[in-house]
Structure 1
């Protein structure tokens, strides 16, 4: 009878210990008016069974951009760090003496980072291969992704923001236009990059010399896309100096067409037709293939700079790991799938398993991957794999298990190298810069209205490695960064 009683006391002692928060964290939460019910915390030394701190650990929470940890780590395991995306150029017609009597077709396969620089080099290669004049149309084959209609303003009614760009099989330069605002004496010059053929910029901004908070410098004016025009209206705070912003001002097809026309002209090429959506026909011939940067490089941009559309592209690519089965039946695993669910829809019973990528297919890929790794996350809800969602959910206990599995993985170095370094770079470059904890933590952050999250690894002064997950879901979440920083510093001192 003594041994079970002693074991019970030990269990209770562990639970009490695991339920305690450092006094500095408690005070910061009090200052921010965030109650214990609005947080979830898990702190565990790497390799240890019991957590050091565990608060509301099983509760489903909105993880914001820390959901990218699940997407990027699973992709390293499923696709491999050397995985690359292709983009193809096909010619539909006869090419003779540099003249294509027909259409040029560009087919995308979801490259998350097909930049304007890479596009320019690829079009230069098409010129070098002998293509000069296109007497037909520019056809854009975006069929590799099978997606429902996307409203970029649905999330927060701000459709021009770069973080609201939707995924696309032929995503070019994140579908964004960089606007650079340059005060010049008493005037204001606005420069756009990249060049967009046919686009007109109407700068109606009024220079404002009043003192303003430059953290919100772009709140004084509006950027309004109107067809092939972009209108700037309002005041520009001259005291904030030169600034820039990346905005999405055109639909994907029009944007690719505008960039292609501008670059193609610069390279000495001509296009008689116009851009339009279509697919590669049976009579077309493959002309050139562009290859992306490797996955190991892509996930660094996704995690360090929390790039949402890149994460969405990667999440959709996970569907490639679900093979097409006989009789169009979705494949199954011997082990039961973990409890992950899609918010949009479960996979339709009569849907054909074609070569096209969809949210449902990627969710199934994640289910199978979790099951193979014996990860049971019954609370997990996936919508886009990027965390830009009001619906996605995961518990801090599940995130802790994921980070433990990743730490023991042979590819652990690749994942950790993709995470922002505290006080050094990425989304945590300004946090705890003068603290002893600076440079001693690799952490992914997440921020939405009412959500403030952080998850990753902290190395303490004793040389021990810790997993830290701290989620805040509360109307005052924005004020909770001090509590998260206090916890990081506390762990770093251990």
Structure 2
């Protein structure tokens, strides 16, 4: 009897789950697509509506990441230049300084300060002219009208030639040597009144997120901050999306320069950099592989849209979008991925138009797994219970389960890999008016797919035979 039970358990471990055997919980079978493939044998283990065209939400970022690795290479970097045709006399630049933007999606205040330090290293302390933004790349990029209600949210910040720090001001409080609470902003904003309506509350509890206790908004020309802020949240930054892209770049450049002791004329110009301008400072971004990790782990729409436009290789916005669509499909097609149902708009998933199939996503993941950039691609994905958008989900699975999430109204998606015993491609996509109520059932389903018996996450590290006793 014991032999027969053991044999049955072993046979169970060898059998793939069939779509018919899947427990969708409350999820309607006609509202979910599932595609699972064994990466060692290539065998498709589960295929449920994998050929149906669906909205993947932010899982679409995997498509953009794949095409970027293919077309640009994992070591690609954006370059930002400060230039001027004006001469330098003594410590003075006798004219305007041009910010020639490349659309670097991760240029931050530290990067801006590093660029300005290069100016000081050349002996420049005074700029007699103004800051000039070269916006010949793309110009103004707008958001879709269908997301107008979310216009003020940070995740809606669009790409921009002179994008800086996601266009957010970091606000934080610290105690000075006298024990007084001092509020600061980065960048410095001496011309904007800080209306402090906060109360500092004594506390010894860990500050997990200052946004739980504090709010910030820009209204009537003032930055208003409010809330009851625990003592332990001091030194934690609250990020406030404010100002236009051009005004944010202007204030950041001028105020950072002046804060370091430099002088520059007020005002802002927009013009193309003169052909005879000399490069005074230059900065390269971190490599593409690291930028794509920021994009996928935290589902950053700005990065995804910027990378998509970069794939378009055109200064004209509409032409860049058209070429990017073609470039992505070309790279996927050349790799053997079927793009017949692929519909692109901006490559981020922040779209009601974008579409693909679970099978296409599965093919893409398989190709990436066997590519020369396998480790870098996998490294961009959130790890279950560890980081990114999966930090609080599927915790028991741990770092062996890496999945890109996707969330929109009426859409939930997970796509990536199980990297434990019997590695798998896992794709689960839900398009339903009830999608937000299906999250727990979705996670239970993924748990069962990656490891039979995993639904309850009991004895996850035990052998397959042992799990049959649960």
Q: Does the TM-score normalized on the shorter chain lie above 0.5?
A: yes
Please give the range of the TM-score, normalised by the shorter of the 2 chains: 0.7 to 0.9
Residue 422 to residue 180, structure 1, CA distance change in 2 (3 Å): same
Residue 412 to residue 191, structure 1, CA distance change in 2 (3 Å): same
SS in 1 for 2:416: strand
- Counterpart CA distance in 1 for 2:220 and 2:101 is 24
- Are residues 1:22 and 2:15 paired? no
- Counterpart CA distance in 2 for 1:154 and 1:179 is 30
- Counterpart CA distance in 1 for 2:329 and 2:346 is 14
SS in 2 for 1:93: coil
Following TM superposition, by how much is the alpha carbon of 1:237 offset from its aligned partner in structure 2, in angstroms? 5.1
- Counterpart CA distance in 2 for 1:43 and 1:109 is 39
- Are residues 1:63 and 2:25 paired? no
Offset from partner CA, 1:93-124 (integer Å, 9 cap, x none): 22111212210001011111111112111211
- Check whether the contact 1:197–1:259 (CA below 8 A) recurs between aligned residues: no
- Are residues 1:444 and 2:404 paired? yes
In structure 1, stretches of 5+ residues that fail to align are: 1-15, 323-352
Residue 475 to residue 409, structure 1, CA distance change in 2 (3 Å): same
Offset from partner CA, 1:5-34 (integer Å, 9 cap, x none): xxxxxxxxxxx97432433xx23xx2xxx3
Following TM superposition, by how much is the alpha carbon of 1:204 offset from its aligned partner in structure 2, in angstroms? 4.3
Which residue, 260, 285, 293 being the options, matches 1:267? Answer: 260
User: Which residue number in structure 2 is paired with residue 343 of structure 1?
Assistant: none
- Counterpart CA distance in 2 for 1:156 and 1:446 is 20
Which residue, 420, 427, 431 being the options, matches 2:389? Answer: 427
TM-score by length of 1: 0.78
Following TM superposition, by how much is the alpha carbon of 1:153 offset from its aligned partner in structure 2, in angstroms? 7.8
User: Which residue number in structure 2 is paired with residue 110 of structure 1?
Assistant: 103
Which residue, 236, 239, 248 being the options, matches 1:246? Answer: 239
Offset from partner CA, 1:231-274 (integer Å, 9 cap, x none): 357xx355797375423201111101111112101222111132
SS in 2 for 1:203: strand
Residue 42 to residue 459, structure 1, CA distance change in 2 (3 Å): same
- Check whether the contact 2:214–2:225 (CA below 8 A) recurs between aligned residues: yes
- Check whether the contact 2:98–2:273 (CA below 8 A) recurs between aligned residues: yes
- Are residues 1:298 and 2:291 paired? yes
User: Which residue number in structure 1 is paired with residue 413 of structure 2?
Assistant: 453
SS in 1 for 2:311: helix
Offset from partner CA, 1:159-188 (integer Å, 9 cap, x none): 3321010101211111111234799xxx99
- Counterpart CA distance in 1 for 2:320 and 2:359 is 28
User: What count of residue pairs does the alignment treat as equivalent?
Assistant: 428
Offset from partner CA, 1:295-314 (integer Å, 9 cap, x none): 11111111111111111111
- Are residues 1:308 and 2:270 paired? no
- Are residues 1:472 and 2:434 paired? no
User: Which residue number in structure 2 is paired with residue 171 of structure 1?
Assistant: 163
Following TM superposition, by how much is the alpha carbon of 1:489 offset from its aligned partner in structure 2, in angstroms? 2.1
User: Which residue number in structure 1 is paired with residue 339 of structure 2?
Assistant: 377
Residue 21 to residue 305, structure 1, CA distance change in 2 (3 Å): farther
- Counterpart CA distance in 1 for 2:47 and 2:195 is 55
Offset from partner CA, 1:41-91 (integer Å, 9 cap, x none): 111111545421222211121111111111112111111111111011111
RMSD of equivalent CA atoms: 3.1
- Check whether the contact 1:78–1:318 (CA below 8 A) recurs between aligned residues: yes
- Check whether the contact 2:56–2:354 (CA below 8 A) recurs between aligned residues: yes
Residue 162 to residue 89, structure 1, CA distance change in 2 (3 Å): same
- Counterpart CA distance in 2 for 1:475 and 1:206 is 41
My pick for the range that moved more, 382-391 or 356-365, is 356-365
